[in-house]
Amino acid sequence: MDLKLFRDFRRLWVQGVAIALVLAAGIAVIIMSVGMSRALNETRSAYYDSNRFAHVFASARRAPDSLIAQLRDIEGVAQVETQVRSYAILDIPGRAKPATGLLISRPEMGEPLLNVPLLRRGRWPESAGEAVVNEPFAEANGFVPGDRISVNLNGRKRAVTITGTALSPEFVYTIGPGALMPQNETFGILWMQAEVLDAGFGMAGAFNTVALSVLPRTPLEPVKDAVKALLDPYGAATPVGRDAQQSNAFLDAEIQSLEVMAWVLPPVFLGITVFLVNMVMGRIVQLERSEIGLMKAVGYTNWEIGLHYLMLAALIAFLGVGIGWGAGSWLAQAMSQLYAKYFDFPFLVFGVPLSIYALSAMLGLAATSAGALNSAMRAARLAPAVAMAPPAPPSFHGSTLDRLADLLRLGQPTRMILRSLLRWPLRAGMTMLGMALAVSVLVASNFFPDAMDEIIDTAFYQSNRQDMLLLFDPDAPDTALEEVRRLPGVLQVEPQQYHAARLIYGSYEKQVPVSTVANAADLARVVDGNGQVITPDPFGILLSDRLAAALHIKVGETLTVSFESGRRETFEVPVAGIVTQFFGLGAYFSHDTLNAMFRQSPRVSNVNVTLADPQAAEAFQERIKDVPRLMGTINMTENRRSFMETLSQNILIATTVYGILGMIITVGVAYNAARVQLSERARELACLRILGFGKGEVAYILAGEVLLLATLAQPVGWVIGYGVARLMTEGFTSDLYAIPLVLEPATFARASLIVLGAAAVSVALVARRLGRLDLIAVMKTRE
């Protein structure tokens, strides 16, 4: 019996492998998505625990140290850590491009209580002229302890010696102001002694950043409210929890996308496996009726017979799980490397836990067993005498379709195809659904590049057309504009202001940055979903569509805008317009309107610049390092390039992976469907050959059914794919960005071409077996 098992499997190996590959795809995705999300989660919490990552983060303009005791007294608060932080321009010797640094103060004595940085090399600063930098920044620039850079401290340049490198749980994902992804070469964290920052920014006896940890099971909202109340007189922004802490939010997003993948893909692959095993095992039991009868006649029990077929399916599971483990481990490995590149953990991301391997194996075995159960039970229940007799011929009946067939003058081969579909509608439906799912996987994954094209076009080539963005002290007078205009190589300059604000409408509230749009703006413009340039109305505020939706506000209604920077005043303003946007929750005033509202002489918080030759801007870059009040620069040309580079690389990987998955599903379904067809119809097809039908004509009948189903599967797959793509865009939409649902006809066409091509190849492989049909055996035997 065991011998028969392995012989059976050898005979069926192509079919077995085709099913095992579908199963393997599901297993691999489980290993990769469930495994990596668990690994990332555990790595993160281990890091957070050991380095005491805070729970609440808040900032103010300048809060006195006397507040610290009151902050500690808030109910539920465990520890409080205050710091001075500021952005500053860094000048790196031997490099023209300026970098932006985030300066963070270290306590004069001992370690910080929260968000403890981990020293990786060298030592902590011991004097005013020393700093420790974050490791990725050091690696990207090749810094070693002893190297010197200079820091623009509020307009005064100061030489600083690097004494070491460190990592911090606050900066697992390190992203500079205005950047779309980490740019370690041009953005760094600098830990310096508190006295340096106190002196440089006039913060002696004060702080501008506070982090708090809470006791277990403390609700966060009351704590945040209490912190806000204490800091409010000192220019506080609304405190946030870990969910809105930038680095942690990116980790959350990554873990969430892995979890979404774990919920969506494996069920599809396991479901298809159940169906395929069911179809193939059903046919095998049908073919082996007489053997089953014989085995029962010689004394095998029903249980042994049933188990035999379950074991045959289990072999497929072993193969699938084995391949899946291999592929999943490889994918997990690749993901780990990706994480090592983008996430700065002090230790390797933990591997996939063994329990996930065990779980995936159990799911694989469950899927094949579920598929084989029906056939195994049928085999077990078959009475020996019945089993030895040939099965009754399948009965067909006429239907209303016949009249249609007459009307269309369909040939007999076509009728055979159609009748078979109607005779086994469930099987036909499942086969079609399987291939439709393959199409949908391809549509839903391929829509991404089209969506990204649209985002990039709108964000980079329509809205933000500047080469450089210079960030100034929030309250710089607009004479800064003139200073920038005089720098070498500058073509255009445009002023802009950014202010943190709370927007309130009824019971809805949202904290967002409000920006201004210059008169006749050309560089930083507001562009709606149709590519239309929108100019903010001088008497109202312009909101992005997602922000308006979050606030449940419509055009013409009055919004309360409470500024948390600038003059920190509250205004009632009408909503002048709503605009479709993909990035961020934008809110815009006209530049002049805001200055008038604040009753102030024109101010700028950043200046947008275009250069005569962005590729050769050394003179410009050399000079801006000395511009007073300049706190940071964003190289938009660089930003665009790195964003698109990373994106196109990721998209290429994703499309390749999903393309392979789609093909695996198609081949698994189409090949097995055709093989079962061939097995069931071998006699019929041989008979047609005897009657004088050519090989091609016979192949038509064999291929026709599967290819017809593949064709019918296309529109179904498009619809499902559209739905999945929509769900995905909705799932991905957050305050950070929205992904437009852009589905070009080419996306559908590409998905269909791949699936139809894979189906045609699978069927062609099976059709080659037609040449081996034994015409003579057919005449001599009953089925």
Backbone angles phi, psi at 323, to 5 degrees: -65, -40
**62 or 423: whose CB is closer to another protein?**
423
| Amino acid in position 250 | F
Interface positions, 556-615, toward another protein (CB under 8 A): none
Q: Identify which of 8, 619, 591 has the alpha carbon closest to the alpha carbon of residue 284.
A: 8
CA-CA-CA-CA torsion sign (667, 31, 367, 311): positive
Give me the least distance between CB of 688 and another protein, in Å please: 7
Q: Which residue stretch of 59-67, 134-142, 634-642, 684-692 sits at the interface with another protein (rule: CB under 8 A)?
A: 684-692
In SS3 terms, 419-463 reads as: HHHHHCHHHHHHHHHHHHHHHHHHHHHHHHHHHHHHHHHHHHHHH
**420 or 445: whose CB is closer to another protein?**
420
Q: Which residue stretch of 311-319, 346-354, 409-417, 478-486 sits at the interface with another protein (rule: CB under 8 A)?
A: 409-417
CA-CA-CA-CA torsion sign (240, 244, 246, 247): positive
Q: Which residue stretch of 1-9, 147-155, 197-205, 406-414 sits at the interface with another protein (rule: CB under 8 A)?
A: 406-414
State which of residues 689, 726, 750, 769 lies at the interface with another protein (CB under 8 A): 689
Contact yes or no for 663/754 (Cβ under 8 A)? yes
Site string for another protein, 416-435 (x = CB under 8 A): x--xx--x------------
Interface positions, 691-730, toward another protein (CB under 8 A): 691-695
778 binds another protein (CB under 8 A): yes
CA-CA-CA-CA torsion sign (5, 6, 10, 13): positive
Give me the least distance between CB of 416 and another protein, in Å please: 5
Give me the least distance between CB of 762 and another protein, in Å please: 23
Question: What CA dihedral angle connects 313, 319, 325 and 328, to 10 degrees?
Answer: -90
State which of residues 687, 708, 712, 765 lies at the interface with another protein (CB under 8 A): 687
Interface positions, 300-319, toward another protein (CB under 8 A): none
Contact yes or no for 510/585 (Cβ under 8 A)? yes
Cβ neighbours around 388 below 10 Å, total:
16
412 binds another protein (CB under 8 A): yes
Give me the least distance between CB of 694 and another protein, in Å please: 5
State which of residues 391, 411, 531, 628 lies at the interface with another protein (CB under 8 A): 411
Contact yes or no for 755/713 (Cβ under 8 A)? yes
- Distance from CA of residue 393 to its chain's centroid? 52
Q: Which residue stretch of 245-253, 657-665, 682-690, 748-756 sits at the interface with another protein (rule: CB under 8 A)?
A: 682-690
**85 or 695: whose CB is closer to another protein?**
695
396's tokens: 């067909």
**69 or 392: whose CB is closer to another protein?**
392
782 binds another protein (CB under 8 A): yes
Backbone angles phi, psi at 213, to 5 degrees: -110, 155
678 binds another protein (CB under 8 A): no
Q: Which residue stretch of 52-60, 123-131, 388-396, 513-521 sits at the interface with another protein (rule: CB under 8 A)?
A: 388-396
757 binds another protein (CB under 8 A): no
**10 or 780: whose CB is closer to another protein?**
780
769 binds another protein (CB under 8 A): no
Q: 407-418: b or e for each residue (b if 16 or more CB lie within 10 Å)?
A: eeebeebbebbb
549 binds another protein (CB under 8 A): no
Give me the least distance between CB of 661 and another protein, in Å please: 35
State which of residues 683, 726, 750, 769 lies at the interface with another protein (CB under 8 A): 683
Give me the least distance between CB of 394 and another protein, in Å please: 5
**538 or 696: whose CB is closer to another protein?**
696
Give me the least distance between CB of 674 and another protein, in Å please: 17
In angstroms, the Cα distances linking 445 to 125, 334, 650, 743 are 49, 19, 12, 11
| Amino acid in position 238 | T
Non-local (6+) Cβ contacts of 482 within 8 A are none
State which of residues 415, 465, 750, 769 lies at the interface with another protein (CB under 8 A): 415
Q: Which residue stretch of 51-59, 396-404, 440-448, 716-724 sits at the interface with another protein (rule: CB under 8 A)?
A: 396-404
CA gap 236, 209 in Å, rounded: 9
**411 or 628: whose CB is closer to another protein?**
411
What is the DSSP code string of 700-748? HHHHHHHHHHHHHHHHHHHHHHHHHHHHHHHHH--SSB-------HHHH
**267 or 394: whose CB is closer to another protein?**
394
State which of residues 2, 10, 395, 601 lies at the interface with another protein (CB under 8 A): 395
225's tokens: 């409210």
Determine whether 730 is exposed, middle or buried from the number of CB atoms within 10 Å of its CB (0-12, 13-18, 19+). Answer: exposed
530 binds another protein (CB under 8 A): no
CA gap 64, 202 in Å, rounded: 12
Residue 60 DSSP class: E
688 binds another protein (CB under 8 A): yes
540's tokens: 């109202």
Binding residues for another protein, per CB under 8 A? 392-398, 411-413, 415-416, 419-420, 423, 683-684, 687-695, 775-776, 778-782
